[in-house]
């Protein structure tokens, strides 16, 4: 890799929620020599990409935002994607992050040089690499849209749209449309599509548990209150947080409360769907929480519209004109919408990363990703992950978890710089102990109770979810424990030898 100019203190990969949040907290902690490398031309990550009609967050906005950047002006309990994107853009503006972002920089790989303690980062189509003392990987777990591996998918001659790459120029008026998938994205898209298209056929492989969604407009008085009394907004956020925490008992673990969650969802189904056949088709056969819970008031009504049809026969193949199901019927369409989710790096690394001694993260993670507290990986010094392995909540806001990661990794970077370390690397034994405990606890969760979901690898290894309460997760990241790390100073005359490599214990 070619030489670069002066190394940065921190390189952040990705300008989505995590990358922007990390930049803000770095700056607030006095670390200003950083740059964010973003492959797109705009910030926003998932909320820039997911602009399908009806796109919104199913976690209340007051909780789906950073505690360090409260927004009194959320328009509704659950805000739409445009408003969330606006919030991210406003943070960039308010905290002056814009000048630190390098757009159209797609990282193609990075390599750690042990002698200098620097990461060397390469970009697509750019001759000049960037060197950095530390790297924050904030490229997002849901950033690569995935088309399903259905036979004949390339033979289809009509229009194809993925939910995360919406084609806003396509006019659905009068069109015959198929939607493949019935996950969190699909339940938001389908109610919008039935309003626009001539007909919509929904291809369901597995019905999900759907809970009612109570979405209220925030009135002017409440906004005013939050603006003038910030503590009131903190109380509201805390109330949402604890409300979601209590649901963990029924969602993370299979408990009597799981039956309560299921009963609420079944009541919702019964109150909205009259037809017994349709009710049966829409009744899940797995424990609530095993796959992501769906939240919608308008999904079931949309499915019962005259111009909508639920198809539960498995898809056999795509033909040039449409979709052929297992019973041999060909359904013809002008457009197929794939709400089929993302390529999530449950195994393999999000980008090629070469660590100390030439080890390759993708190889080490080939059977499932793992890390220490989801943030650091042994063998990869000075590298920090956001939304890394086993950091997903099934019951609470991902932003609360992300904020905890950001606090932790910015403190770790502070330690690296303050103590003038060449390498800050998590101890392998700590990482192994952490993961052994994690996998033991995961085996008792609903996610491992026998459904197919993007949380698990093909072998059933859970590399995505955190098996516990949000409070537990936040508490474990509250402090960077020096003992968890091997700290190697830049000035090696201060170093002592441990296990054949230069190391020192600084306290
Ligand atoms: P998803 O949850 O992975 O759902 C994909 C859907 O496509 C599933 O119904 C799946 O069926 C179906 N599918 C996949 N391959 C198929 C095939 N070959 N044939 C037929 N059906 C197929 O994807 P998503 O709905 O885009 O959601 C992904 C994640 O994004 C969510 O879990 C959530 O974390 C996030 N999200 C969040 C929000 C929010 O409001 N916060 C909104 C949207 C998305 P099976 O169930 O049978 O696999």
CA of 132 to the centre of ligand 1 (A): 36
Q: Cα separation of 179 and 268, whole Å? A: 23
Strands (E), 208-313: 210-211, 294-295, 308-311
Residue 457: its pLDDT value, please? 86
Question: Look-up: residue for tokens 């919008």?
Answer: 192
CA of 268 to the centre of ligand 1 (A): 21
What mean pLDDT do residues 144-160 have?
A: 93
What mean pLDDT do residues 299-304 have?
A: 98
Residue 460: its pLDDT value, please? 87
Sequence-ordered list of residues with C-beta below 8 angstroms from that of 282, at least 6 positions apart, any chain = 207, 210, 269, 273, 300, 303, 310
CA of 339 to the centre of ligand 1 (A): 6
339 lines ligand 1 (CB under 6 A): yes
Q: What percent of the chain has pLDDT over 90?
A: 89
pLDDT category at 494 given cuts 50, 70, 90 is low
Among residues 101, 83, 102, the alpha carbon closest in space to that of 93 is found at 101
0.85 cut: is pTM over it? yes
**193 half-sphere exposure, CB direction, 13 A CA radius:** 34
Which numbered atom of ligand 1 lies nearest the CA of 206? 47
What mean pLDDT do residues 177-198 have?
A: 98
CATH number of 159-209+253-338: 3.50.50.60
Which numbered atom of ligand 1 lies nearest the CA of 55? 42
Structure tokens at 2: 């070619």
What mean pLDDT do residues 272-281 have?
A: 97
Class of 8-144+344-505 in CATH: alpha beta
Helices (H), 369-480: 398-418, 428-442, 470-476
What mean pLDDT do residues 397-404 have?
A: 97
Question: Phi and psi for 299 in degrees, rounded to 5?
Answer: -70, -55
pLDDT category at 492 given cuts 50, 70, 90 is low
Is the pLDDT reported for residue 490 higher than 60? yes
- Nearest-CA residue for atom 36 of ligand 1: 184
- Nearest-CA residue for atom 33 of ligand 1: 184
Helix (H, G, I), strand (E, B) or coil at 452: coil
CA of 183 to the centre of ligand 1 (A): 4
464 lines ligand 1 (CB under 6 A): no
CA of 407 to the centre of ligand 1 (A): 30
433 lines ligand 1 (CB under 6 A): no
- Nearest-CA residue for atom 21 of ligand 1: 181
CA of 496 to the centre of ligand 1 (A): 51
Residue 504: its pLDDT value, please? 38
- Nearest-CA residue for atom 37 of ligand 1: 184
Is the pLDDT reported for residue 141 higher than 90? no
142 lines ligand 1 (CB under 6 A): yes
CA of 454 to the centre of ligand 1 (A): 8
Structure tokens at 15: 């300008």
343 lines ligand 1 (CB under 6 A): no
Give bridge partners of residue 384 from the DSSP assignment: 136
Residue 358 buriedness (CB in 10 A; 0-12 / 13-18 / 19+): exposed
Residue 142: its pLDDT value, please? 79
Residue 350: its pLDDT value, please? 82
pLDDT category at 502 given cuts 50, 70, 90 is very low
205 lines ligand 1 (CB under 6 A): yes
pLDDT tens string 412-447: 999 999 999 999 999 999 999 999 999 999 999 999
Best mutation site among 81, 140, 141, 205 for ligand 1 pocket (most ligand atoms within 8 Å of CB):
205
Among residues 329, 336, 331, 371, the alpha carbon closest in space to that of 350 is found at 371
Residue 347: its pLDDT value, please? 58
Top pLDDT among 329 and 493 is at 329
378 in Cβ contact with 425 (< 8 Å): yes
Structure tokens at 375: 């943030």
Q: State which H helix or E strand residue 271 sits in.
A: helix 256-272
181 lines ligand 1 (CB under 6 A): yes
- Nearest-CA residue for atom 31 of ligand 1: 184
pLDDT, mean over the chain? 93
What mean pLDDT do residues 197-214 have?
A: 97
Which residues make up the CATH 3.50.50.60 domain(s) of the chain?
Answer: 8-144+344-505, 159-209+253-338
User: How are beta strands 322-325 and 315-318 bridged, if at all?
Assistant: antiparallel
Q: Cα separation of 378 and 257, whole Å? A: 38
CA of 384 to the centre of ligand 1 (A): 28
What mean pLDDT do residues 458-471 have?
A: 93
58 lines ligand 1 (CB under 6 A): yes
Q: Cα separation of 17 and 23, whole Å? A: 10
Q: Cα separation of 483 and 480, whole Å? A: 9
What mean pLDDT do residues 330-341 have?
A: 97
CA of 482 to the centre of ligand 1 (A): 40
Q: State which H helix or E strand residue 230 sits in.
A: helix 230-251
Positive or negative: CA dihedral 455, 181, 317, 159: negative
């Amino acid at each position: 890799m070619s030489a670069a100019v002066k190394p940065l203190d921190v390189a952040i990969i990705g300008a989505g929620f995590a990358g922007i949040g990390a930049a803000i907290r770095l700056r607030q902690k006095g670390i200003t020599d950083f740059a964010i490398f973003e492959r797109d031309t705009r910030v926003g990550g998932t909320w820039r990409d997911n602009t399908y009609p009806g796109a919104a967050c199913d976690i209340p906005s007051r909780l789906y935002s950073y505690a360090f950047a409260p927004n009194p002006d959320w328009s509704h309990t659950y805000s739409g994607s445009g408003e969330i994107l606006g919030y991210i853009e406003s943070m960039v503006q308010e905290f002056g992050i814009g000048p630190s972002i390098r757009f159209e920089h797609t990282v193609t790989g990075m390599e750690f040089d042990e002698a200098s303690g620097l990461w060397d980062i390469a970009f697509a189509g750019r001759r000049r690499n960037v060197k950095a003392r530390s790297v924050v990987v904030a490229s997002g777990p849901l950033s690569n849209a995935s088309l399903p591996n259905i036979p004949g998918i390339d033979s289809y001659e009509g229009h194809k749209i993925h939910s995360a790459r919406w084609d806003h120029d396509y006019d659905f008026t009068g069109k015959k449309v198929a939607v493949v998938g019935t996950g969190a994205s699909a339940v938001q898209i389908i109610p919008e599509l039935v309003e626009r298209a001539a007909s919509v056929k929904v291809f369901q492989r597995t019905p999900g548990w759907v809970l009612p969604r109570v979405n209220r407009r925030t009135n002017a008085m409440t906004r005013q209150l939050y603006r003038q009394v910030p503590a009131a907004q903190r109380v509201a956020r805390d109330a949402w947080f604890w409300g979601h925490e209590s649901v963990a008992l029924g969602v993370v673990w299979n408990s009597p409360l799981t039956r309560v969650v299921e009963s609420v969802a079944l009541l919702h189904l019964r109150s909205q769907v009259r037809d017994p056949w349709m009710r049966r088709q829409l009744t899940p056969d797995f424990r609530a929480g095993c796959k992501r819970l769906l939240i919608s008031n308008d999904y079931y009504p949309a499915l019962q519209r005259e111009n909508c049809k639920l198809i539960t026969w498995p898809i056999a193949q795509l033909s040039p004109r449409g979709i052929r199901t297992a019973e041999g019927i060909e359904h013809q369409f002008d457009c197929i919408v794939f709400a089929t989710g993302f390529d999530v790096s449950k195994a393999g690394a999000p980008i090629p990363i070469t660590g100390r001694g030439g080890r390759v993260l993708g190889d080490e993670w080939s059977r499932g990703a793992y890390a220490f507290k989801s943030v650091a990986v042994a063998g990869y010094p000075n590298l920090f992950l956001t939304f890394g392995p086993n950091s997903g909540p099934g019951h609470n806001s991902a932003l609360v978890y992300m904020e905890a990661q950001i606090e932790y990794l910015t403190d770790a970077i502070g330690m690296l710089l303050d103590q003038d370390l060449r390498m800050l690397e998590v101890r392998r034994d700590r990482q192994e102990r952490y993961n052994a405990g994690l996998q033991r606890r995961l085996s008792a969760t609903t996610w491992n109770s026998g459904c197919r979901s993007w949380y698990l690898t093909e072998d059933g290894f859970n590399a995505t979810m955190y098996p516990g309460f949000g409070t537990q997760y936040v508490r474990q990241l509250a402090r960077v424990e020096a003992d968890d790390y091997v700290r190697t100073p830049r000035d090696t005359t201060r170093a002592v030898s441990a296990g054949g490599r230069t190391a020192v214990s600084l306290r």
